[in-house]
Structure 1
Amino acid sequence: MVTSPPRRRRRRTGWTPARQRRFVTDLATSGNVRDVCARIGLSRTSAYKFRDQPHNAAFARAWDAALDRYMADIADEAAARVSEGETRPVKYKGAIVGERVFIINRLLTALLLYHSSPRTSPAKPPKTSTLST
């Protein structure tokens, strides 16, 4: 008598379609993978491993699109800060005596760095020896 191997059941935990949708939605509003993973109850490491699997290319594209939406919101904020500046109170002996406008370029710098770097990790080439035989 031949027995068939036990069928592998789909896990109810892990990266279910519902969790994937929630991850992408939350990522578009917060831009922080660690915080979103904590909210959905999965690890940051598992998120990156799941994303890097070849059969999860649609999830990786959705991840990138969510970050692009988040960065578009940040771009609007950066533009406002660069053009209008940020008003801070001036204090003297504990009392507010005036205001100063500061132009803050750090957010704009971060935005430019984001747009100039690749968003997906390229496939790692196989390790080869540098020694010739």
Structure 2
Amino acid sequence: MTGIPAHRCRRRPPYFHPVPLRPRSDGWTLERQCRFLAALYVTGSVSAAARGAGMSRASAYGLRERAGGEGFAFAWDHVLSGPGTGRSSRPKPNWRKLTIEELFRWVDDGLVQPVIYRGKMVGIRQKPDISALLRLARRGAGLPRKTGAGS
């Protein structure tokens, strides 16, 4: 693969839901998750990407398998799938199994995407998760509903 540009063999990281973690100075932060995906795009190596994020390869796989890590795992697979492989379909969340607390977290956290310029991560893009917001509105956000004509 020497001499082949990264965009020919890998895809840029998509918007994804970051893995929810408690804040730690030596753990997987939002920035480290994005750095890992950016380095994975540039190098194509999980070990090199984990080193670039300042973490170990084993902890990267642990983060991928963690509860709530489906968005991170999808972004990881998307980067390595390559264009034209047909494996780019985003897994659809089972909206009925998502709790209202999870939907609120998705709305609060939103979606993130690492910005890569000339082979380096230069920033993090964020946007709101409108789908989760609409699901909350459709569910009534857990508010009691009025029933009957006299209520």
Larger Rg: 1
More helix by share: 1
TM category (shorter chain) comes to 0.3 to 0.5
TM-score by length of structure 1 reads 0.44
Does 1 or 2 have the higher relative contact order (CA < 8 Å, sep 6+)? 2
